Amino acid sequence: MTATEARRAEVRAALIGAAEAAIAAHGLPGLRARDLAKTVGCALGAIYTAFPDLDALIQRVNLRTLAAFEGALGPEDRLAPLPDAGAATGELVRIGLAYLDFARANPLRWRALFQHQPQDGAPPPDWYLVEQARLFRFIEAPLRVLRPDLSPAACALLSRTLFSATHGIVILGLDARLMPLSHDVVRQQLETLIRAMAAGLSAADPGDAA
Amino acid sequence: MTATEARRAEVRAALIGAAEAAIAAHGLPGLRARDLAKTVGCALGAIYTAFPDLDALIQRVNLRTLAAFEGALGPEDRLAPLPDAGAATGELVRIGLAYLDFARANPLRWRALFQHQPQDGAPPPDWYLVEQARLFRFIEAPLRVLRPDLSPAACALLSRTLFSATHGIVILGLDARLMPLSHDVVRQQLETLIRAMAAGLSAADPGDAA
DNA sequence: CAAGGTGGTGAACGTTGTTCATAGAACGGG
DNA sequence: CCCGTTCTATGAACAACGTTCACCACCTTG
């Protein structure tokens, strides 16, 4: 039994790797079941013994992308409390720029995180939300320094807002359809945005973000 | 000659209308060539006499969506110069909230604006960029009041940044995958963001946005 | 070693967008 | 008014997709 299970696990891992390579090379439309089977060296139907469908496989790839970004964010000790508001603002800027850099370095894998939406309309699995929450801790840590008065729920909410604004800059800044922007210009715009928000948050009426 | 041209134009208009309805009802994947032909009452191949492919048809629908949003922004005289910085900030907030409201009211048509990317990799046609530029004038007008020192190019760039941040809030705020947020919470977060950026812009070193 | 069940196989299915030989309508000159 | 020409709409056919399923081989077990 363990022999067949090991083979299944091996095929699963190989499929995830091949899918990641296909997405990194040609984007989400570059993920084709027949190509996967060919590169992995298994039958077409074998894919569906390892995963219910290609959507589940994409989710696995997306999880790895999130984990790769977490690695790019730096070691775990970045979550240690920061000394003052200035350091906290700097940390937020650092995270935002790391997000931009990661998106630029891995454009297709990063786009797949948002481009993909399961046609089933089903919510993402728990292990996916867990990884999301892990990443948001990196934003919430400096946020707690800037706004120690916020409840954990309000802090979580505000971190989503900060991330959303950053994400907007990155996703449209890397999209040549809207405007051709150089790397440096996007960097500067992003830094300006984050510093403006951090400044606004420190000075804000605590009731604002409730 | 005019008779056949009139018929062609009629079919074109009917196809755009049917495509818009299909996208509004079931999103971009709900646009199927055979369904279109059936609802319009023409043959399958007739679609390809009116448009080179379905991508071109989607672009026509997206143009109508942009025009509908422009209508929702209010009359043209909104572009008149504003008296002071406070009024300009209020106008930016109003535009941002209008964007949010439009996205909420027409979720699938609005998503199609960004979800769609032509596989050809070709740049969008000129008439599409023209409509985009028309919309950005609504942001640039109040921006000129807040930062009269900016060159037109810097103003255009800054308006893109402002829009991008707003867009990030809206697109992730309406997406239940990230966090289930109520309408009012998203509204408040968006208003906070825009006011923080407007305040940061007024106070900023003019060199920041060059 | 024979019998039974489990799991991989790849041909086949149902849907896509797009094309193309063909039938038919529109037009112009006799 | 009619026939020859040209151009257009038609829908069956094509290629490619994700997914399924009857089959066959292998492994486990008595």
Tens of pLDDT, residues A147-182: 999 999 999 989 999 999 999 999 999 987 777 788
Question: What is the average pLDDT across B162-176?
Answer: 93
Question: A116, A147, A161: which to substitute to probe chain B, counting the most B Cβ within 10 Å?
Answer: A161
Task: Count Cβ atoms below 10 Å from residue A105 Cβ, excluding itself.
Answer: 12
The distance (Å) linking the CA of A16 with the C1' of C7 is 20
Domain A59-203 class? mainly alpha
User: A92-96, A103-107, B64-68, B76-80: which range is least confident on average?
Assistant: B76-80
Identical fold for domains B1-51 and B59-203, yes or no, is: no
- Interface residues on A facing B, Cβ-Cβ cutoff 8 A: 29, 115, 117, 119, 123-124, 132, 156-158, 160-161, 163-169, 171-173, 176-179, 181, 185, 188-189, 192-193, 195-197, 199-201, 204, 208-209
Mean pLDDT of B136-144: 96
Residue type, A160: R
Report chain B residues whose CB lies below 8 A from the CB of A164: 168-169, 171-173, 178, 189
The pTM of the full predicted model, rounded to 2 decimals, is 0.92
Right CATH number for B1-51 from 1.10.3470, 1.10.10, 2.30.30, 3.40.50? 1.10.10
Indicate the domain borders of chain A: 1-51, 59-203
Residue A196 DSSP label: H
What's the DSSP call for residue B72? H
Nucleotides of D under 7 A from a protein CB: 8-13, 16-22, 27-28
Using CA atoms, how far residue B205 sits from A82, A97, A184, A192, in Å, is 27, 21, 18, 11
In terms of pLDDT, which residue wins out, A208 or B165? B165
Res A197: pLDDT = 86
Q: Are A121 and A61 in contact (CB under 8 A)?
A: no
Task: Kindly determine whether the C-beta of residue A55 is less than 7 Å away from any atom of nucleic acid strand D.
Answer: yes
- The pLDDT score that the predictor gives to residue B204 is 57
**CA A202 vs CA A81, A163, A196, B72, B154: distances in Å:** 17, 17, 10, 34, 28
> In this structure, are residues A174 and A107 in contact, taking their beta carbons and an 8 Å threshold?
yes
Rounded to whole angstroms, the Cα distance separating B42 from B13 reads 13
pLDDT, one tens digit per residue, over B104-135 is 999 999 999 999 988 777 889 999 999 999 99
User: Is strand C in 7 Å reach of the CB of A32?
Assistant: no
Query: Is it the case that residue B36 has pLDDT exceeding 70?
Result: yes
CB atoms within 10 A of CB B69: 21
Does A204 sit within 8 Å of B200, measured CB to CB? no
Position B108 scores a pLDDT of 97
Whether nucleic acid strand D comes within 7 Å of the CB of A183, the answer is no
Closest Cβ–Cβ partner in B157, B193, B200 for A165: B193
Contact A160 B171 (CB under 8 A): no
CB A84 within 8 A of CB A182: no
Cβ < 7 Å from strand C, A residues 34-93: 42-46, 49
Closest alpha carbon to A25 in A113, A101, A107, A102: A107
- Spanning CA of A45 to C1' of C13, the rounded length in angstroms is 14
Chain B positions touching A193 (Cβ under 8 A) are 161, 165, 197
Q: Which long-range contacts (CB under 8 A, 24 or more apart) does B76-80 make?
A: B78/B138, B78/B141, B79/B137, B79/B138, B79/B141, B80/B141
Chunked mean pLDDT (size 10), chain A, 210 residues: 77 97 97 98 96 97 98 87 93 98 97 90 90 95 94 92 96 84 90 88 54
Neighbours of A148 (CB within 10 A): 8
**Is residue A166 within 8 Å of A174, Cβ to Cβ?**
no
**Half-sphere exposure (Cβ direction) of B54: Cα atoms closer than 13 Å:** 20
